Structure formats: C-alpha cells, structure tokens
Amino acid sequence: MTQPLKISVVGGGPGGLYFAILMKKADPRHAITVYERNRPDDTFGFGVVFSDETLDNIQNADPETFAAIARHFVYWGEIDIHVRGRTIRSDGHGFCGLERKTLLMLLQDRARDLAVELNFETEVNVDALPDSDLIVAADGINSGIRARHADHFKPSLDWRKNKFSWCGTSRSFPAFTFDFRENEHGIWILGAYQYKPGMSTLVPECDEETWLRAGLDKADEAQTAAYLERTFADLLDGHPVLTNRSIWRNFPMIKNERWYKDNIVLIGDALHTAHYSIGSGTKLAMEDSIALAHSFSVKGSVPEALKHYETTRREEVEKTQHAADVSLVWFETPRRFWKLEPMQLAFSLLSRSKQITYDNLKRRDPAFGAEVDRWWAGKVERDLGFDVPANNPPPPMFTPFRIGAITVQNRVVVSPMNMYSAEPGNIPGDFHLVHLGKLAQGGAGLVFAEMTSVSEDARITPGCPGIYSPEQVKAWTRICNFVHANSQAKFALQIGHAGRKGSTRLGWEGMDQPLIDGNWPVVSASPVRYRADGHLPTEIDRAGMNAVRQSFVDAARNAHIAGFDMLELHMAHGYLLSSFISPLTNQRGDEYGGSLENRMRYPLEVFDAVRAAWPADKPMSVRISATDWVPGRGLDIDDAIEIAKMLKAHGLDIIDVSAGQTTSEARPVYGRMFQTPFSDAIRSEVGMPTIAVGNITTADQVNTIVAAGRADLVALARPHLTNPNFTLAASADYGWDGQAWPAPYLSGKDQAFRLAERDNAELSQLREQARAPITQRRTAFLASKSADS
C-alpha cells in the first residue's frame, strides 16, 4: 500500500468535495481538508443536470454517493422544443435534474461520514499549505491559484458573445425544454429543466444587440425577472421568475496549457469550462475528480499520478470542450437557424454539437426519426418539385438535388482527390479510367475528377493530369463516356493552377516539397513561400494574369468537349487563385491587393471569363477556403460569407466550402465534420447551395448534415478510397431500394441487403445490452417515484 497523503482541497464545490470523498474512500489514512470561502449552504444558481453517462460514472465511482443523489433527482428522457406555436418532442435522451444546494449538502454529509475535514468561510493561500503532499485547486472560474501561477498554467479565456442569466421558476417542466421566440427586441432562447418537484431552472439567452435593445444592461434582478415574465408569459403559465444572483453575464471558455505544477493540480472550472448548452460544469468537475482519484489508484506517487491524470483525461476534456464550442456557436448565430422550418430547427438544435446524429436520434426515438424523414421528403417535394414517397420516405441522403440545370440522384459527392498518377504528357490513363469509373459505379450522385491543370506550368506535380492538350482531352472524353454509360452519376471536373504550391514531388514522395530536379518556375499573387524550404514564387504580372485567365477559359472549353456535366474552379488551399484571396499571401500594392474586394478582383475576373466560355446549361461551382486558420490575421468565416456573396452575384451555382491549406501558419481545429459549420454559415447567410467537406466519413454524418440544412451536398474523399461503393453500401444499410445499382451488380444487391439487415439486428442487440444498466436504473427510479407518490 502507498503512503497516506496530506491533501488540501481549495474549493468546496461538487468537484472538490467529490475528489475528497473518493480519495478518503480509497484510503482512510489520507488526511484530507477542504477549504471553502462560502458558507456551507451558500449556492448560486438553481439546479444541475447530469446525463445518463455521467450518472453511470458517479455510480461506478461511489455507489453510496449515487444512492443519496438518486433519492433526490428528477429524471426525464424527453426534450421539448417550442418554436412558432409548435411543440416538437424528442424522446430517449436521459437526464436528471438536481437542486444544486441539495447536491452540496449530500456531498458534505458523505465527506463528513468519511472523516474529511471541512472548513467553510475560509480563504486560504497555497503558501499557507507548505506541508501538503497534494493541493487540489477546485476554486472555480476565477481561480486565485490559477491566476497566481498563470505563467506556468498558461490559461486562455475566451469570453463568448451571447448574454445569459441563471434564473428559476416554480413552473415544473415535463421535459428538458427549449423555447425560441422573437419579440420587438430580437430573438430569445430559453432553456428550462426541472430540478425538483415544483421548481425549474431557467436560462434565458440572447445576443448582445437584443439584450441592449431590451434595456437589460440597466436592469436589476427584479427588472430582469419582470421582463422574462412578460416575454415568456404563455410558457410560464402564471408562475414567477425567481432570481439568485441572476445577473447577466458572458460565458468564458477556459483552457489551460498545463494542468498541474509541482504538487498543485487544477480541476473543474479552474481548469476548463464547457458551455452549459451541452451539460453543466458540475458534470465535468465531478468527472475530473473521478479521473484524478483513479490516477492515484494506479500510480504510486503524486508526480506520477498528476502526469497520468493530465495524459489520460485531457483528450476527453478537449472533445467535450470542442463539442461545447460548436454548440455555443450555434446559439450565437440565431438569425441563421431562425430561417429554418420548425422541424429542421429542432433537428439542427439536437444535432448541433455532433454528439447526436441522424442514426443516433432514430435509435433514441424511432417515431421522431420517422417524422424527420417524412418532413424532409415533403420539403424536397415542395422546394425542388421532386416526387419523393411520403409513406416510405428515403433517408435524406437519398433524395435528389438540382444544381443549375442538372439533377443529381442523391446528396453524396466524391470529392476531388489528387492521385499524382497521370501518364507521360500529363494524360489521364487507365488508372483514372478504373479509379473514376469505379467511383461512379459506387452510387454517388456527383463524382469529381481531381484538380486538373489548366497548363503545363500550372501543375502541382509531374504526375498531375491536365486538360490543355488534344491528347488529354481525348483521354478525358474516354473517361466521361464510361461514367455516363455505366452509371447515373454526374461527372464534374475541377480545374486549377497550383501557383506557389507547384513544381513539387508526388504526394507519397514528400507532400509540398520541391522536386529534386526538373523544377519549373512558379508564380503567386506575391513572392511569399508556402513553406520555409519551398519555392520562392515570382509575383505574377498583368501579362501573366492574362495568360492564366486564357488557360482557364481554354480548359473550360476542353472540359465541355470532353463531356463533363459540371465545372469547378479551385480557389482554395493556397493555389494561385487562392493566393490572391488571402491577406496572408496577397501583399500586392496594386488594385489586386489590399481590401477583400481588391483581392477578389482577379479570381472574379477568371470566374467571369470561364462562366462565359462554359455552356449556360451546365452548372459551375467554386471551392474556397473559408478560413486560413490564423485568427486575427487571415481569412475567417465573415470574409468567406462576403466571398460567397460576390461569387453568387457573378452567377455561381453552388459553392464547395473547404478550409485552410493556404499557409503553413495554419492551426486548424480538427474533428468530425470540422469544416461543416463554414458551409452552414454560408448557406444560411448567403442563401446559396453549398457542398460540405472535411472529415466526413459515414452515411450517418451525410444524413445529419443534409437534414439539418448545413449543406445541400456532402463530399467525402478518403472513405471513397477505402470503399468505392460507399453509397451502395449505405443504401443496403438503410434498406433503401430506390438507389440505382449498376445492372452487373444487381446479383450482389439482394445479398448486401440481407447481410445489412442481419448486421443491424446484431448491432442493435449489442447496443441494448450495453444500455441495459442505464435502462434498469431508469426503470427502477421511475418505479420508486411512482411508489412514493
């Protein structure tokens, strides 16, 4: 057994108390003291929320604490969404509400039972704890310990835009409730949940402009309550709004580069925050406590345990914070979702943080999932005029879409992928025929060929195909003919000029690294290298710009001759046209540099010339980088919205929304569907169709993005490399018979459907087994409450 420790916990909130409980339970020899600045029964706010998963963690860590909590919490599985006179309910979620004060009292009692020393109304300085083996900083958002050692912990605080307040009411809500409404001051969002019989928490939220127009910057608590009572009178049904330090505030997103210093460790709000829209900070703090106590159970010393805690816990915290950040951005842009129909707003709300998806929601609440499908089928029929069956509607990804004058059979796109496999003369050969032909036969509605060079010096690598010679056009014609003869896919060509990222090695030989020999001159908007060891480009002059523009025009004409259905201009990822758009790569002093309007002047000039040369009955798209991922200096989403508006005004049919790869300074924030929010913003703000890209890997994600209105089409790259039949496989998985299969493959279709049905049944059974403890707990709790009543 390891030596007992003298532990000082600074902060007597749920996180600090629970850590003390777990450590004392693990080894009663530990001498543990909790120091809290407030009185024992002081608490601010009203109730806390725990999910099923958090309850499981608490139950597994300390069944006694869980049992005490379970006697007091209110349980529900429904979410009610009130919008424009409708109430839309989704079931199967699983939450409990608990009074914050009750939680503190229960944890204090449990700590005393275990002989933890509790000191209230006590301010303590870490210098006064020199003999502590471990100091746990659980002292909240305004942590004095974190501030004192800020140079070491390196905290970052991001104060978010919206205003919110913690309030309460005597109205009991039957479900976790969201209410969306608009008054003369702006759009209001209210979150509400019951935390004990006859009492609920209210969290009103709005943007700062609405808050100011309502005069709430000058309001005291009583005036705030009166305003909310008027605004939400029908929902409150005569019940008052209650206050408890219910001041208006902005949410701080807190992160720390380091989590511990010597024997001092941060937990809870001192360490991190996650927006309340995906759960309470109490949940994170108590789960920190579980993780930290576990680290001491598997490591023999304080330094080893603290290192283990940070190493093992950080990823989970960062995932939660990322989900919370995505969620809070959704709430910060109410005008975007306010345009949606009520059902789509509800689905967008539920799927906003990516924790709930189309498939997940259908498992939680099959009736609600079926209603989403019926609503989507009706929307496609109303908006686009397609006949979509309402009695047995397809999943959203299998509904058609119209781009300009062409129709794609479903919402799946094969994204352009550089293959670096052209034959001598930069001719697409047998590899491209097999590669693209197979992808087209795999069922996607739209297939893109890789970025294709408009001239020899526009190539990225020596292995990139072109469309500037008769031999290349002939080869592309062969491929187009195969795609059209053997699939229902529409075939698009992306054309571009590599600019400063040209004259580099094949992807697998050194991405973006200059050729060892055989280099050709490269140009860019300005003489700025892409990477330190990369080519120094020449600033392209007016004569060069004219020549490049003509190369794009010639490429467009050749693409039409070859038989492509759609054309895309590559204005992203740091290539030539992109280099004009970003302020990080365009440092020109002429009329093509400076303001965004000036930086867009040449890309728009090329677009106009190509649009004039490309047949009017064939659509065009443009791929853009919606952000440079360099905050404060590079392009951001507001710039991307303006770029999209300009392109729309010039006749663009659909915009392909990517991000980054414009500069080696980029610091992207990766994750599932990580670029989709940019598509969502442009689609809503600009009112034009979009293609979403970026780490989208499953049919479930495609359905989620489309049904939520975040994009009209969804492009996948690598998943199609591992499974060219991605869309056919998805049709079998969903049991959707309406997807076209190539005639030679029909013999495999029935088997695919049968196997998918069997696999889905087995997977469903495994999920039910995994959720059995949660289901049993919920059933037992509801039965006990029924017996009590």
| Residues with catalytic roles | 575
Q: Are the CB atoms for 711 and 683 separated by under 8 Å?
A: yes
Q: Are the CB atoms for 77 and 91 separated by under 8 Å?
A: yes
Measured between alpha carbons, how far is 605 from 586 in angstroms, rounded to an integer? 16
Nearest to 449 by CA among 136, 717, 73: 717
Helix, strand, coil % (nearest 5) of the chain? 45, 20, 35
Query: What are residue 407's DSSP bridge partners?
Result: 402
Q: Are the CB atoms for 582 and 634 separated by under 8 Å?
A: yes
- How many Cβ atoms from other residues are within 10 Å of residue 665's Cβ? 11
Measured between alpha carbons, how far is 85 from 104 in angstroms, rounded to an integer? 38
Query: What are residue 200's DSSP bridge partners?
Result: 169, 194
The runs of H, that is alpha helices, within 27-170 are: 52-61, 63-70, 100-113, 144-148, 150-153
Measured between alpha carbons, how far is 574 from 642 in angstroms, rounded to an integer? 18
Which whole-number Å values give the CA distances from 773 to 21, 53, 97, 294, 519, in the listed order?
24, 11, 19, 22, 64
Number of Cα atoms under 13 Å in the Cβ half of residue 578: 31
Which whole-number Å values give the CA distances from 201 to 77, 190, 382, 434, 785, in the listed order?
17, 10, 39, 60, 21
First to last CA, the chain: 47
756, burial (CB in 10 Å: exposed 0-12, middle 13-18, buried 19+): middle
CA torsion 452→456→460→464, rounded to 10°?
50
Q: Are the CB atoms for 507 and 461 separated by under 8 Å?
A: yes
Q: Are the CB atoms for 749 and 441 separated by under 8 Å?
A: no
Scanning the structure block, which residue is given the tokens 């080696």? 664
Q: Between β-strands 47-51 and 199-206, what pairing exists: parallel, antiparallel or unpaired?
A: unpaired
Scanning the structure block, which residue is given the tokens 């106590």? 293
Measured between alpha carbons, how far is 346 from 326 in angstroms, rounded to an integer? 16
Q: Are the CB atoms for 22 and 62 separated by under 8 Å?
A: yes
Which whole-number Å values give the CA distances from 492 to 266, 454, 544, 582, in the listed order?
53, 15, 27, 26
Rg of the chain over CA atoms, in angstroms?
A: 29
- How many Cβ atoms from other residues are within 10 Å of residue 323's Cβ? 21
Which whole-number Å values give the CA distances from 4 to 11, 271, 302, in the listed order?
21, 26, 11
Measured between alpha carbons, how far is 757 from 747 in angstroms, rounded to an integer? 17
Scanning the structure block, which residue is given the tokens 């949606």? 340
Measured between alpha carbons, how far is 300 from 204 in angstroms, rounded to an integer? 47
Phi-psi region of 237 (alpha: psi -120 to 50; beta: other; left: phi over 0): left
CA torsion 362→364→368→373, rounded to 10°?
-10
Helix (H) or strand (E) run with residue 317 in it: helix 302-332
